[in-house]
Amino acid sequence: MKVEFLAFPKAFSGNVAAFVAADKQLLATAQSINTDAGGTVARAIDASRFTGAKGQSLTVLGTAGTIARLTLLGVGKNRELDARGAEALGGILAAEANAAGQKAVTVAVDPVKGSKLTPGQIAARIALGAQLRNYRFEKYKTKDKPEQKNSLEQITVFVAGPAEARRAHGQLEPTVDAVFFARDLVSEPANVLYPAEFARRARELTKLGVKVEILGEAEMKKLGMNVLLGVGQGSERESQLLVMRWMNGPKSQKPVALIGKGVCFDTGGISLKPAGGMEDMKWDMGGAGAVTGAMRLLAGRKARANVVGVCALVENMPDGNAQRPGDVVKSMSGQTVEVINTDAEGRLILCDAMWYAQEKFKPQAMVELSTLTGAIIVALGHERAGLFSNNTQLSNKLRAAGAGIGEKLWRLPLGSKYDKMIDSEIADMRNVTNSRDASSITAAQFLQRFVQEGVAWAHLDIAGMAWSSKGDSTTPKGATAYGVRLLDTWIADNYEK
Ligand code: BES
Ligand code: MN
Ligand code: ZN
C-alpha cells in the first residue's frame, strides 16, 4: 500500500477521515466539514451511538461538497491517545475502506489535546496501523472476485509537519515487511511450507545482512540432537535446524537467543490427533515464524544488537518409521527422554534447539516462542500468551515490551513440585505427565530442564495467539505474526542503548 504524508489541503474530497474527541467534540477538520455541511455531521452523530470514545468510528456518506465518505475516528479523552491507540484507528480505517471497496483514503490528523504524541507521531502510527490491517493471504485465490481482495491501495495522511511524520514512519516501516513475511509463513499450507521450504524462505534474509545457516538431519545427528530428530523420523520431509545471526551490536555484547517451534504440520504422530480442526496444525510453526520475522525486522531497521535466531523445523507424521509411544531418546544435553505421547512434540524439538543455541552462542538471555499447549488457550484464551521464566527482570521487560504494542503476556508459575511430575521410571524424564493437570506448566518445566546455569530464559506459549479467527484492529483474521514486534521492541528497549 502506498503511504504519503502531506500538509493540510484547502479543501477535502473523496474519502476523508477526521478526529472526534470524547463527548462528541469535533476537532478542527470534522468541525469545518460539519459547518460546510450545515450541521449534517453533528446530526449523524446524534443519530448514532458514536461519542468519540477512543477506537470508535462512524462513517457518514455524502456529507458535503465533494466528500464521498466521512469517517469519524474517536480519539477519546485528553491524553488517552497513545501509539497503540493511533495504530488501531489506522487499522479501523483500513478495514472500513476495504469493506466499502475504496481504493484510497485520506485522514486529517488534527492536534490531539494532551496526547503525549506529536501530530507527526500520530500520523505515522495511523499509517502503520492501516498497513498492518491491510494484509490478506490471497495467493491461492484464482477467481477475480473483487470482494475477495483488499481494495485499499493508498493512504494519504494530512498533518502539520509532514516531514516529521515521514521520518517517524520511515523508522516504523520495516515492521510491515517483517510482519507480512511472518504472516505469509504461518498462512502457507503444509504441502507448500515444509521444513526445507521454510528454511529456503528464511535464506532470503541473507540479502538484509543476516547470516543464515541450515543444518540437515546428518549434521544434527552428529551433534546428538536425537530428541528433535525423533519427532521428524515419521515424515518424508527432512527436518532442519535454521540458524540466523544478526550481530550488529558491540563486540563485547553477549548475544540474545530467540528460539522458535517450527512444526510445519502436527498430526500428533502415532498419538494421532482427532480429525476435526487438524488443519489448524499448519500453523504449529508460529513460533518459528515469529522468530524469523523478528530477525527480518532487526535486520530491516539495522538494530544495534547481537541476536541469534534458532528454529527447529520438523513435520510430525505417523508412518512405519515414526517414533512410538514409550521410545527413549537421548538429547544433545545428554539427558534421556521417554516419549509417552508423540503429540507432545514441541518440547522435544525445542530442548535440542535450546541446547544447541546455548552451547554454540553462550547467550545472556534466551526467549523461546512456541504454539506449545492447547491448555494455554483454556487458561488465557486469545488475549494473552503464557509467559514462563526463571528471571523476574526478564519477565517484566518482556511484559512491558508487549504491552506497548498490544502483544500481551501473562506470567504463570514454575516450581519443583511441577518439575517432579515429569520424572520417568526408566529415563531422566518423560515428555508428558500422566494427567492433564497444569499441562502448560509441566511443558514449561520440561523445557527448563534444558536451560543452562546463568542463562535468563523465558518461554512464551503462543498457542492462543498465533492465529486469530476474529482478527483485531491491526490484524485481519488468520495469521497474526504475534511475537515479531514483541521481540523487536524488547530488544530495542533493552539491548540497543
Ligand atoms: N501443537 C500442539 C498444541 C496446540 C493445540 C497448538 C491447539 C495450537 C492449538 C501441541 O503439539 C500439542 O499437541 N500439545 C498437546 C500436549 C499434550 C499431548 C500433553 C496438547 O496441548 O493437547
Ligand atoms: Mn502436538
Ligand atoms: Zn505441536
Which residues crowd ion ligand 2, with CB under 5 Å? 266, 343, 345
460-483 residue pLDDT tens = 999 999 999 999 999 999 999 999
Lowest average pLDDT, out of 36-50, 139-153, 215-229, 298-312, goes to: 139-153
pLDDT at 78 over 90: no
* Catalytic residue from among 84, 203, 237, 273: 273
The pairing of strands 57-61 and 67-76 is antiparallel
- Beta carbon of 433 within 6 Å of any ligand 1 atom: no
pLDDT at residue 81, as a whole number = 95
- Beta carbon of 344 within 6 Å of any ligand 1 atom: yes
- Beta carbon of 461 within 6 Å of any ligand 1 atom: no
Specify the ligand 1 atom closest to the Cα of 371: 6
Burial class (CB in 10 A: 0-12, 13-18, 19+), 126: buried
Question: Ligand 1 centroid to 198 CA: how many Å?
Answer: 21
pLDDT at residue 202, as a whole number = 98
Higher pLDDT, residue 218 or 66: 218
- Beta carbon of 316 within 6 Å of any ligand 1 atom: no
173-202 residue pLDDT tens = 999 999 999 999 999 999 999 999 999 999
Burial class (CB in 10 A: 0-12, 13-18, 19+), 6: middle
- Band of residue 65 on the pLDDT scale cut at 50, 70, 90: confident
What is the spatial distance between Cα 242 and Cα 239, in angstroms, rounded to a whole number? 10
- Beta carbon of 374 within 6 Å of any ligand 1 atom: yes
Q: What global pTM score does this model have?
A: 0.98
What is the spatial distance between Cα 435 and Cα 21, in angstroms, rounded to a whole number? 53
Question: Ligand 3 centroid to 329 CA: how many Å?
Answer: 18
> Is 273 marked active-site?
yes
Q: Ligand 1 pocket test: which of 279, 284, 342 has the largest number of ligand atoms within 8 Å of its C-beta?
A: 284
**Contact call for residues 304 and 249 (beta carbons, < 8 A):** yes
What is the grid cell recorded at 317? 507424521
The type of residue at 99 is: A
What is the spatial distance between Cα 213 and Cα 248, in angstroms, rounded to a whole number? 17
pLDDT at residue 64, as a whole number = 77
Q: Ligand 1 pocket test: which of 278, 339, 340, 373 has the largest number of ligand atoms within 8 Å of its C-beta?
A: 373
Name the β-bridge partners of 106: 16, 156
- Band of residue 321 on the pLDDT scale cut at 50, 70, 90: very high
> Is 347 marked active-site?
yes
265-301 residue pLDDT tens = 999 999 999 999 999 999 999 999 999 999 999 999 9
